[in-house]
Amino acid sequence: MQDIQGYLAQHKDRFLNELIELLKIPSVSADPAFSQDVIDTAEVIKTRLLEAGCDTATVYETDGYPIVYAEKKVDPNAPTVLVYGHYDVQPADPLELWDSPPYEPVIKKTEKHPDGAIFARGACDDKGQMYMHVKALEFMTQTGQVPCNIKFMIEGEEEVGSANLATFVKGHRELLQNDIILISDTGMIANDIPSITTGLRGLSYVEVEVTGPNRDLHSGLYGGAVANPINILAQMIASLHDENNHITIPGFYDKVEELSTEERAEMAKAPFDKEAYKAALDIADVHGEAGYTTNERNSIRPTLDVNGIWGGYIGEGAKTVIASKAYAKISMRLVPHQDWEEITTLFKNHFESIAPAGVTVQVTPHHGGQGYVTPIDTVGYQAASKAYETTFGKTPIPQRSGGSIPIVALFEEELQSKTILMGFGLDSDAIHSPNEHFGVWNYFKGIETIPYFHKYFAELSQA
Amino acid sequence: MQDIQGYLAQHKDRFLNELIELLKIPSVSADPAFSQDVIDTAEVIKTRLLEAGCDTATVYETDGYPIVYAEKKVDPNAPTVLVYGHYDVQPADPLELWDSPPYEPVIKKTEKHPDGAIFARGACDDKGQMYMHVKALEFMTQTGQVPCNIKFMIEGEEEVGSANLATFVKGHRELLQNDIILISDTGMIANDIPSITTGLRGLSYVEVEVTGPNRDLHSGLYGGAVANPINILAQMIASLHDENNHITIPGFYDKVEELSTEERAEMAKAPFDKEAYKAALDIADVHGEAGYTTNERNSIRPTLDVNGIWGGYIGEGAKTVIASKAYAKISMRLVPHQDWEEITTLFKNHFESIAPAGVTVQVTPHHGGQGYVTPIDTVGYQAASKAYETTFGKTPIPQRSGGSIPIVALFEEELQSKTILMGFGLDSDAIHSPNEHFGVWNYFKGIETIPYFHKYFAELSQA
């Protein structure tokens, strides 16, 4: 493409500052306290998309947070790319673990980001990666080289399960019609090892409530005589894994795709340094399902993790109480072919069935989504691969990710188009954690690479 | 005694109002936010003791909250009774479960308290029961019939383990010298079934912390590949009981006193309605150690209960995170002969030993105390028994309680005197729970009964 390096050098500070301004807005979709910020962010995105060159941009209301839709039409005969991203972010707590305030972005050098990284909630997931596409559009528009029609759909509920996106997609199939969907909401192996995510795990997220006695009780007068909801919840959670860390829910593995020895051997080629992995997390050893490697455990195998647990007295000091209720938030990562709604039902039935007399159990499904595997023999994948080759000088490695972007499966079903996952973040960027960050180098590398995707996708589509 | 009924009738409103004023002060020893209130309460107690007739009253500073000491000397040849009580209260949370604010006392009729009960934190445990002794002293002083020398030691750290009481007692053996210790900090079976507590359980209270990765992680990228501290904590807690609800800590039962068939048969005579018990707690069934009855499980058998647990995301909505840390507060109720410090060490060693690689565990002992059994063939017990016979018209039943008053064992060791536990509350008074209350009838019945204890104790001692 015509002098993209020069354009980036010329506008570097502005491109950084625009992202920093975006990161200052705490658009936490999970917490109603931030609802106005989430809504404000949608308006900002709309404005930036118009400034970047979109012909039209609209904020669509939903039953939840709005969806920003915009488009740049260049030629009815050119292929159409639908860019998806999200402007909402994860909650920032625990706040005390942040080295700098989550909504006051700062740029600091790190071992993996010698050119500096932007530290802020949402820097990588997904404001930073989403905004790369906005700036790539600006470059293509300003230099008069927009090879595809480009549509943008930026939502505000990805971190809480995209509850209203399906309704929007089903209601706007024509508007959203496209030849390929492009998303930057994943990572790559390393700055010198580009990779394209070809698989995503599905998700089922539930909340459980265990109720014992109808009021908190004195543990001296009642201890040992009534079921303690916290002890019971602990026993029920513990029973969900066996000694090999297999999940014990009946039917849970029935539809799990078993990879061939060849496929596993291919996966094993991806570079992985177990010692470095353990050192980075300060853990003495890894932990997971018997018979699988770490890379397999967090990509091709389903998992069950408690994301939060609470009950009884959790204040300072001591309170000798038997709580009336105990709670947990539990999520299951699923692999292709496992249906998240079916798994949610299996969990609910099983969890309710193992509750002992003396407690009652309520399971409330939160949200979920299907897993996804994308083929690599498509025009879309080839265009992405060539784009990385051009800007990284290396062929990217196809990689399964352990994360979930439930809407990818939805898109394929509703819009009959494939999704290409061009992620520029690193697993070490601490998304969903304190001190989330996104490499400045990665941000600009993304902006540089994306126009080539559009270029090659147009060329290969018309070939 | 001379016209105690008349005196109570004449001063009923004032006696109630004085207690209500005392209950308005939130003297929560567990929460530093209330420290000034705890300190203020000590001063109020001192004033009330002087007003009631004590010759002297002193607020003794400690490394924690102060101890109020007061005395009424009548005759060097008369026996001396040391009254112990506490002016601190349990935290009131969860506040939303209170029908009226915990520090705005209200009097309401209940099924078990047709004459009304005072609803407030501390109403029964222990401000109400402690204050009965202050008003009993007023009556005896005003009517010129104080048969014993009476000493008062009212502390402010009972709900957090009486951390500084031992030091005070050891440093003031002479001052505290007595012939019997009298405490009203327990319950009785029913208003028409008076009972005297002859056994208390010991206590070991610990806090555990399980640490996995050095930061919260994205459950998609790391789920299934690293030890999740919450899942691990649940497994560790679950493993502390076997399928018969026996505690699995090695050595835990070594010193447990096994009651004879005769003793268990004697205990079984205490009236107990299992259906009513279940109905009162809204539970489908009781739950506990195999081979023992409900009354045995909560009195003569040791137990292990989680009093609080927390970790990960516990806010609204969903957060797909693997927490870096998970915590629990765990208490063990012990029976006579189990040494609480030895049990704490057994717990710590065992809990640390069962931690899998991939997590680190820290066990922090909070506090504890020894169990206690008091003989019923003593002058003290006989005096108490006669006092109940006089005011209730029935011989009280000796009863083992599941609760703990660790300092009772301390008193016996340091002051070489026995303790009599004359409790006037009911198990249904919701101590340590929302809507704690104390029957108005019970309050006045206590004030009426206590002077008879002093009378009979003096008579029987000199007999």
ipTM above 0.85, yes or no: no
- Percent of chain A residues topping a pLDDT of 70: 100
By the CB < 8 Å criterion, does A319 face chain B? yes
Interchain contact B246–A (C-beta under 8 A): no
The percentage of residues in chain A with a pLDDT greater than 90, rounded to a whole number, is 83
pLDDT of residue A259: 85
CA A128 to chain centre: 13
- Helix, strand or coil, per DSSP, at residue B85: strand
Say which of A230, A286, A356 has its CB closest to residue B309.
Answer: A230
User: CA-to-CA distance for B14 and B3, rounded, in angstroms?
Assistant: 18
Q: Report pLDDT digits (tens) over A418-449.
A: 999 999 999 889 998 999 999 999 999 999 99
Q: How confident is the model at residue A45 (pLDDT cuts 50, 70, 90)?
A: very high
CB contact under 8 A, B314 and A297: no
Determine the number of helices (DSSP H) and then strands (DSSP E) in chain A: 14, 20
pLDDT value at residue A173: 96
Separation of alpha carbons A244 and A252, rounded Å: 15
Coil, strand or helix at A38:
helix
Contact A358 B284 (CB under 8 A): yes
pLDDT digits (tens, 9 = 90+) for A247-301: 999 999 999 988 889 888 887 888 889 999 999 999 999 999 999 999 999 889 9
Candidates B238, B304, B312; nearest CB to A308: B312
* Nearest CA distance, A15 vs chain B (angstrom): 28
Residue A79's pLDDT band (cuts 50, 70, 90):
very high
A226: which 2 tokens? 């009534």
Average pLDDT over residues A321-336: 95
Lookup: tokens for B463: 């007999």
Encode A216-246: b = buried (16+ Cβ within 10 Å), e = exposed: bbbbbbbbbbbbbbbbbbbbbbbbbbeeebe
The answer to whether A338 faces chain B, any CB pair under 8 Å, is no
Q: Model pTM greater than 0.90?
A: no
Residues from chain A contacting residue B89 (CB–CB below 8 Å)? none
Are A457 and A84 in contact, with CB atoms under 8 Å apart? no
Q: What is the pLDDT of residue A57?
A: 98
Tell me the per-residue pLDDT of A404-421, one tens digit each, with 9 for 90 and over. Answer: 787 888 899 999 999 999
CB contact set of A416 (below 8 Å; sequence gap of 6+): none
**Which neighbouring-strand residues pair with A108?**
A117
Average pLDDT per consecutive 10 residues, chain B (463 residues; last block may be shorter):
90 98 97 96 98 98 97 96 98 92 97 96 98 98 97 96 93 97 94 92 95 92 94 98 97 92 84 92 96 93 97 89 96 93 98 96 92 88 97 92 82 93 94 95 98 98 84
Cα(A253)–Cα(A334) distance, integer angstroms: 10
Q: Which domains are present in chain B?
A: 4-200+371-461 (3.40.630.10), 202-256+302-369 (3.30.70.360)
Give the gap in angstroms from C-alpha A93 to the nearest C-alpha of chain B.
8
Spacing of C-alpha A65 from chain mean position = 18
Q: Number of A:B CB contacts under 8 A?
A: 374
**Residue contact B283–A213, C-beta within 8 A:** yes
Interface of A with B in 253-312 (CB under 8 A): 281-289, 294, 297-298, 301-312
Rounded to the nearest integer, the mean pLDDT of chain A is: 94
CA distance A256 to A335: 6
The pLDDT value recorded for residue B151 is: 98
Burial category of B261 from C-beta neighbours within 10 Å (exposed 0-12, middle 13-18, buried 19 and up): exposed
Report the pLDDT value the prediction gives residue A400, as an integer from 0 to 100: 83
A152-162 per-position pLDDT tens digit: 999 999 998 89
**For A162, nearest residue in chain B (alpha carbons):** B318
Q: Is B24 on the interface with A (CB under 8 A)?
A: no
Residue of B nearest to A207 (CA): B318
DSSP one-letter code for A396? P
CB A348 within 8 A of CB A333: no
Is B314 close to A315, i.e. CB distance below 8 A? no
CB atoms within 10 A of CB B95: 10
- A318 and B331 within 8 Å at the Cβ level: the answer is yes
With CB atoms and an 8 Å threshold, state whether B314 touches A294.
no
**What's the Cα-to-Cα distance from A286 to each of A42, A238, A289, A414, rounded to whole Å?**
40, 18, 10, 39
Interface residue A432 vs chain B (CB under 8 A): yes
